[in-house]
Amino acid sequence: MDVQILCAAVQEAPAYLSRFTRKEYPLAFREYAERFAPVWTAAVRETAGEETALTALADHFLEGLEQGWRRQRFWNRSSVRVNEKQMVVSFLTPLLLGLEEPLCPEFAQILRDRWAARWPRDPYQTAAYADINSGFRYAIMGIPMQPPKDERQDP
């Protein structure tokens, strides 16, 4: 699998992160899944379920991201890295955890562990789409508010 195709799932951050809001996240995630689910499913299937191959895929992917950061101007590198990490946490990991391929959730955990091994001061936690989507707060200037009646969970 071409690493550039895999990295595009994270490097196209501005198109998706600008839509990481309570109202737009579900549609943005659906579009993201339609575009990148087949790519990641095929990449994980190519490993034939071998843990060493899954680890190698994660390392190959992370190396591709790091090369992209090195190509950035010095003052822009940390910003790009933060955005791409948010893409991994908010879009890629929930996608992998939700795919029907049984190796994808395992790969999500391996990717998280390999990230933490590579950058120990910058780890992240995995979360499913439902957990992320339910975590948006209803607040105005930091003051918690009631969600609109049509968006409340209670009957």
What tokens were used for 110? 């391996």
Measured CA to CA in angstroms, residue 135 lies from 32, 113, 125 at distances of 19, 24, 14
Measured CA to CA in angstroms, residue 149 lies from 25, 69, 152 at distances of 19, 44, 5
Which pLDDT score, from 0 to 100, does residue 30 have? Answer: 96
Which pLDDT score, from 0 to 100, does residue 22 have? Answer: 86
Q: Tokens 């508010």 map to which residue? A: 145
Which pLDDT score, from 0 to 100, does residue 155 have? Answer: 47
Which pLDDT score, from 0 to 100, does residue 29 have? Answer: 96
CA distance 121 to 139: 31
Per-residue pLDDT tens digits of the chain, which is 155 residues long: 688 889 999 998 888 999 998 889 999 999 999 999 999 999 999 988 788 999 999 999 999 999 988 888 766 788 888 999 999 999 999 999 999 999 999 999 999 999 999 999 999 999 999 999 888 776 666 676 666 666 655 54
SS3 139: strand
